[in-house]
Amino acid sequence: EIRDGGAYILLLRLPRVRRIQIGALGDLRFEPGWYLYAGSALRGLDARIARHRRIRKRLHWHIDYLRRACTEVVALPIRSSRRDECSVADAISRLYHRGPTGFGASDCDCVAHLFQADDNPLHHRSFHDLLQAYRMRAPE
């Protein structure tokens, strides 16, 4: 689809151990490495991704707090009219370690929408396969 809505995966690199106050979740310890965040914007996907790339902004979502400490951000949109955010998070959970309970999942039944990898997921075939499965649906 080409519409300006859907889900996205943010890849964020945290260069060193950090303790970060994450809104109502509290003060959390984050190990160095790469973090994968599954989010959505059924309208205004491009604007949401642009917001996540910025460091300076009003802190609203859990990911905003972590974003401030990260040195690299890669945004991977998944354009769709479907609500795929939780499905994407579930698929990521099969490849990577789950982040703090409740992170990014305050409005759904998921355990978390944040995951951690030791190295860049873009260097792994399994991650590319996951992304491709959501970006290019098989014909029905």
- The predicted model scores a pTM of 0.93
Distance CA 69, CA 73 (A): 11
- Measured in residues, the chain has a length of 140
pLDDT at 104 over 80: yes
pLDDT at 55: 87
Are 70 and 24 in contact, with CB atoms under 8 Å apart?
Answer: no
pLDDT, mean of residues 64-83: 94
Residue 19 in tokens = 């303790």
38's CB contacts (< 8 A; 6+ apart) are 7, 8, 9, 85, 86, 88, 89, 92, 104, 113
Stretch (H or E) spanning 77:
strand 72-79
**pLDDT of 16-66, one tens digit each?**
999 999 998 999 999 999 999 999 999 999 999 999 999 899 999 999 999
